[in-house]
Amino acid sequence: QKEVEQDPGPLSVPEGAIVSLNCTYSNSAFQYFMWYRQYSRKGPELLMYTYSSGNKEDGRFTAQVDKSSKYISLFIRDSQPSDSATYLCAMSSYSSASKIIFGSGTRLSIRP
Amino acid sequence: EAGVTQSPTHLIKTRGQQATLRCSPISGHTSVYWYQQALGLGLQFLLWYDEGEERNRGNFPPRFSGRQFPNYSSELNVNALELEDSALYLCASSYGTANTEAFFGQGTRLTVV
């Protein structure tokens, strides 16, 4: 079993829809949680970062962490075609980027 | 402020050759990380450098090596290239060692033929 599981998609939704992206994990020691966005042929871009359970909001993006269920989510409101990308969840049990475990990524497509 | 920059953007090598990839971190960042992103395998941690020292390496053979220079830029060397080494190689940097907020460069696409 992988430490981090993420549905690869692809996920296709109409413009304006609310998008829900999810990851599950098995290591209860994970305490740092991140979401990255990666456009085709580009490097991953850090979108959201949190180290606690609950919700964190940034503009149209909300990251949710449920440590009891070992489940994290990223919600995108009012989705735009420019949100079309691969979204990677990532997490770590240590305060070091060398210990980050990445999900395999979900390909998201927003239809105009 | 410039982000993490990597060069070259693309690199084509033949099997058995050596490849050298370069990375310049964000100004003020002392830690540099290298990741391999192969198709279907996601991001795999390769190496971590901080203050010129190798701090940690992932589960890769010794022919993957690198170094960090006094200006914190870094080089990744891959010797005796194999076809399976074809991937996007990503460099990331962070401020200090106790930091999970890593910022990535655009990557170097290495193709081994």
Q: What is the pLDDT of residues A91-100, one digit of tens each?
A: 988 777 777 8
Yes or no: say if B48 and A98 are a contact pair by the CB < 8 Å rule. Answer: yes
CA pair distance B102, B29, nearest whole angstrom? 10
Of residues B52 and A2, the one with the higher pLDDT is: B52
Cα torsion B30, B93, B54, B109 to 10°: value is -140
CA pair distance B113, B86, nearest whole angstrom? 9
Average pLDDT over residues A74-89: 96
How many cross-chain Cβ pairs, A to B, lie less than 8 Å apart?
65
Token code pair at residue B23: 């990375």
- pLDDT tens digits, B62-110: 999 999 999 999 999 999 999 999 999 999 998 876 677 889 999 999 9
Of A42, A46, A100, the CB nearest to B103: A46
Yes or no: say if A35 and B99 are a contact pair by the CB < 8 Å rule. Answer: no
Confidence of residue A47 (pLDDT cuts 50, 70, 90): very high
- pLDDT tens digits, A50-64: 888 889 999 999 999
Q: What is the DSSP letter of A93?
A: S
Query: B95: helix, coil or strand?
Result: coil
Q: What is the DSSP letter of B71?
A: T
Of residues A9 and B82, the one with the higher pLDDT is: B82
pLDDT of residue B60: 96
Looking only at the bridges linking them, the beta strands covering A11-14 and A106-111 are parallel
- Report the mean per-residue pLDDT for chain A: 92
Yes or no: say if A81 and A110 are a contact pair by the CB < 8 Å rule. Answer: yes
| Gap from A52 CA to chain B (nearest CA, Å) | 14
Residue A96 and residue B104: Cβ atoms within 8 Å?
A: no
Q: From residue B85, give the alpha-carbon distance in Å to each of A42, B39, B54, B63.
A: 19, 11, 21, 11
Yes or no: say if A27 and A93 are a contact pair by the CB < 8 Å rule. Answer: yes
pLDDT of residue A106: 95
CA-nearest residue of chain B to A37?
Answer: B104
Confidence of residue B1 (pLDDT cuts 50, 70, 90): low
Asked if B55 is an interface residue toward chain A (Cβ–Cβ < 8 A), one would say: yes
Using a CB-CB distance cutoff of 8 angstroms, which residues of chain B are in contact with residue A103? 42
Query: A112: helix, coil or strand?
Result: coil
Using a CB-CB distance cutoff of 8 angstroms, which residues of chain B are in contact with residue A97? 31, 33, 48, 92, 94, 99-102
Token code pair at residue B67: 């170094």
pLDDT of residue B50: 92
CA pair distance B85, B44, nearest whole angstrom? 12
pLDDT of residue B23: 98
Using a CB-CB distance cutoff of 8 angstroms, which residues of chain A are in contact with residue B43? 44, 88, 90, 102
Which residue of B74, B93, B100 to mutate against A (max A Cβ within 10 Å)?
A: B100
Q: CB-based burial of residue A34 (10 Å sphere; 0-12 exposed, 13-18 middle, 19+ buried)?
A: buried
- Report the mean per-residue pLDDT for chain B: 93
Query: Where is average pLDDT lowest: A12-26, A32-46, B12-26?
Result: A32-46
